[in-house]
Amino acid sequence: EDQVTQSPEALRLQEGESSSLNCSYTVSGLRGLFWYRQDPGKGPEFLFTLYSAGEEKEKERLKATLTKKESFLHITAPKPEDSATYLCAVRIQGAQKLVFGQGTRLTINP
């Protein structure tokens, strides 16, 4: 069964304190791994897509990386506005749907 597991469930950091979120996956054939950000009361907002091991994508203070078993979302010198739930999802071969992990709730204290 295709499975996506995110850790930790929640993470609290001080402003400027860099860290990483983990997304491990077990799928029959990966067509893409997606990172989303979700703010309270809003729908998930697309951040990145990664397709193959070794690939990296960057956007402002965020960098996503991919291996054959997991993906990391690195947050460098975060600010309070980076506080959100970060969701990881996989698209498997032969399907268009995304299978989501449970998310990591990130809080950045000023």
Partner 1 sequence: DARVTQTPRHKVTEMGQEVTMRCQPILGHNTVFWYRQTMMQGLELLAYFRNRAPLDDSGMPKDRFSAEMPDATLATLKIQPSEPRDSAVYFCASGFRSRDSPLHFGNGTRLTVT
Which residues here bind partner 1, judged by CB under 8 A?
31-32, 34, 36, 41-46, 49, 51, 87, 89, 91, 95-103
Q: Which is nearer to partner 1, 13 or 99 (CB)?
A: 99
CA–CA separation, 10 vs 8, rounded Å?
A: 5
Smallest distance from partner 1 to CB 100, Å: 4
Smallest distance from partner 1 to CB 28, Å: 15
